[in-house]
Amino acid sequence: MRSYLSQRETALDGVPSQARQAILDGAVEELAGLDAEAAAARIDELGDPEFIAAEARADSGLPKRLPKRQRQ
């Protein structure tokens, strides 16, 4: 879970601070109190941090950055 949250925080670099904090707080809230198995399942549902960050950038009027594995 910490790894996912760290990845999400890194991916959100450059997103305006208020939007960034809201997204991070939302993820923490979604995962709070879950055991490891439930947290893993919820993380799968929440999605890739890079895609979440790309959408946040677009919503903020910033250019999207493609996930590293799609940059070629």
Q: What are phi and psi of 42, to 5 degrees?
A: -70, -40
As a whole number of angstroms, the distance between CA 50 and CA 45 comes to: 14
Q: Closest Cα to residue 68, out of 2, 27, 13?
A: 13
Q: Is the pLDDT of residue 72 over 70?
A: no
Residue 71's pLDDT is what?
45
Residue 66's pLDDT is what?
56
Q: Is the pLDDT of residue 9 over 60?
A: yes
Report pTM: 0.79
In the chain, count H helices and then E strands.
Answer: 4, 0
- Which pLDDT tens digit goes with each residue over 12-67? 998 999 999 999 999 999 999 999 999 999 999 999 999 999 999 999 888 876 55
Element (H, E) at 57: helix 49-59
